[in-house]
């Protein structure tokens, strides 16, 4: 096995069990390794620190599979890791019965570059690292054995694959081709998931508990849901007894899917829902100029800052939408605002939202902090995994 030797003093991150080894920490590769091959990670003084997947085309030059130098990376390794990940979820109250569930959450489940979401009897697998690509067959086989799923669809189309020198790969991996729109039920609301062309693996499972929080706040309120995508927050607000829900998104196809999802739920009053295709930044200004006011506003924008390098530009975008969010609130109104940008930490996000409230000349209080659902754990040694952060702010 080839050995990846670190520069003097650059082993500290690995000793803290952080799974990423950047190119700047690498002294040399002793031996030969192809993309995705397992290499031994060693400090400059020869201490073996673990075993990792080699990725010569990425700034993250290696992703650690195991910090046990004696652990073999083979088919049995992936069977163990996947079984452990599934067990962690069945041990948590409320997760075992979910029809939509994240089964594998990459680094936080000890499987860098491996994402797997479950929608009923269909799994959607996303592989984004060279090591995950190398062990595709082992991962698929372990998932089939551990879950007994009817089918697996691959959505390995994230931008990260380009950084790893990998091509896009999408298609059915296991079982007969099933519906591209499996239907799941979440908190009593049915949703069709576009696993082929939808965002991520088709749905934002990480917002499950936050959609429920929205439902619990919606009773009798006039609701504005911005960046509504396929209507997850909107439908939960209707289920919670919202007086009305205006949902805004720039994607016409997403809004068609949202309306179709509403039709899957005849128990919800469709007369209380309005779907509006518009640029959210512009529409917020239009609503403010028209003197509109809402009792509950949801701001769940796409990722404005994929890395810290984009933070400054992203901060301006977050400031803008939150400023108008506060301006559009009725007295005593509530703003549920989110950032899924890894390049924006919770402290910076709170500072941005506070600045927006000041500029809107409202007095606002944080009444709740929100994060990803429990099936999206954050490994304590990998704080980068805490990408989703949310604040529930009340004015007045």
Q: How far apart are CA 299 and CA 294, in angstroms?
A: 13
Q: What is the DSSP string of 266-285?
A: TTS-GGGEEEEES-HHHHHH
Closest residue by Cα to residue 29 from 12, 42, 20 = 42
Q: How far apart are CA 185 and CA 208, in angstroms?
A: 11
> Exposure pattern of 180-213 as b/e (b: 16+ CB <10 Å)?
ebbebebeebbbbbbbeebebbbbbbbbbbbbbb
CA angle 55, 57, 60 (to 5 degrees): 55
**SS3 at position 172:** strand
The residue annotated as part of the active site, out of 149, 214, 226, 340, is 340
What are the residues whose beta carbons fall under 8 Å from the beta carbon of 105, sequence distance 6 or more?
Answer: 85, 115, 375, 376, 377, 385
Q: What is the DSSP string of 228-248?
A: -TTTHHHHHHHHTT-SEEEEE
Q: How far apart are CA 65 and CA 20, in angstroms?
A: 10
Cα 226 versus chain centre, distance: 18
Which pairing describes strands 189-192 and 222-226: parallel, antiparallel, or unpaired? unpaired
What are the residues whose beta carbons fall under 8 Å from the beta carbon of 355, sequence distance 6 or more?
Answer: 319
The yes-or-no answer on residue 214 being catalytic is no
Q: Where are the beta strands (DSSP E) in the chain?
A: 3-6, 20-22, 26-30, 38-42, 48-54, 60-66, 100-105, 114-119, 122-127, 151-156, 169-174, 183-186, 189-192, 222-226, 244-249, 273-277, 294-299, 329-339, 364-371, 389-395
Are the CB atoms for 267 and 185 separated by under 8 Å? no
Q: How far apart are CA 77 and CA 233, in angstroms?
A: 38
Are the CB atoms for 85 and 111 separated by under 8 Å? yes
Q: In the Cβ-directed half-sphere of 338, how many Cα atoms lie within 13 Å?
A: 26
* Catalytic residue ranges: 340
């Amino acid at each position: 096995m080839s050995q990846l030797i670190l520069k003097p003093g650059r082993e500290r991150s690995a000793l803290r069990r952080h799974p990423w080894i950047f190119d700047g920490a690498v002294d040399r590769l002793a031996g030969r390794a192809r993309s995705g091959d397992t290499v031994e990670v060693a400090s400059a003084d020869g201490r073996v620190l673990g075993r990792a997947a080699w990725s010569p085309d990425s700034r993250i030059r290696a992703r650690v599979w195991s910090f046990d130098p004696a652990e073999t990376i083979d088919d049995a390794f992936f069977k163990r890791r996947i079984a452990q990940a599934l067990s962690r979820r069945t041990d948590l109250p409320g997760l075992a019965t979910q029809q939509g569930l994240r089964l594998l959450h990459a680094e936080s489940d000890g499987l860098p570059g491996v994402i797997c979401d479950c929608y009923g009897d269909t799994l959607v697998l996303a592989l984004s690292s060279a090591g995950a690509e190398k062990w595709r067959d082992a991962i698929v086989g372990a998932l089939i054995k551990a879950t007994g799923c009817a089918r697996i669809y691959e959505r390995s189309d994230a931008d990260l694959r380009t950084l790893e020198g990998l091509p896009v790969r999408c298609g059915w991996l296991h079982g007969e081709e099933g519906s591209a729109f499996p239907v799941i039920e979440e908190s009593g609301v049915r949703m069709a998931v576009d696993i082929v062309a939808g965002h991520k693996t088709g749905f934002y499972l990480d917002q499950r508990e936050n959609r429920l929080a929205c439902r619990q706040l919606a009773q009798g309120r006039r609701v504005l849901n911005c960046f509504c995508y396929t209507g997850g927050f909107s439908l939960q607000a209707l289920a919670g007894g919202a007086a009305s829900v205006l949902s805004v998104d720039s994607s016409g196809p997403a809004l068609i899917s949202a309306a179709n999802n509403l039709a899957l739920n005849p128990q919800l009053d469709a007369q209380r829902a309005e779907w509006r295709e518009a640029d959210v930044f512009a529409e917020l200004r239009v609503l403010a100029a028209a003197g509109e006011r809402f009792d509950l506003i949801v701001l769940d924008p796409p990722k404005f800052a994929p890395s810290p390098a984009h933070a400054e530009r992203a901060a301006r975008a977050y400031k803008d939408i939150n400023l108008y969010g506060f301006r559009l609130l009725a007295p005593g109104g509530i703003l549920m605002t989110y950032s899924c940008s890894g390049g924006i930490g919770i402290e910076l996000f709170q500072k941005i939202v506070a600045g927006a409230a000041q500029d809107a000349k409202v007095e606002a209080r944080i009444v709740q902090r929100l994060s990803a659902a429990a099936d999206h754990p954050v490994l304590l040694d990998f704080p980068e995994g805490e990408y989703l952060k949310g604040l529930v702010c009340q004015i007045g």
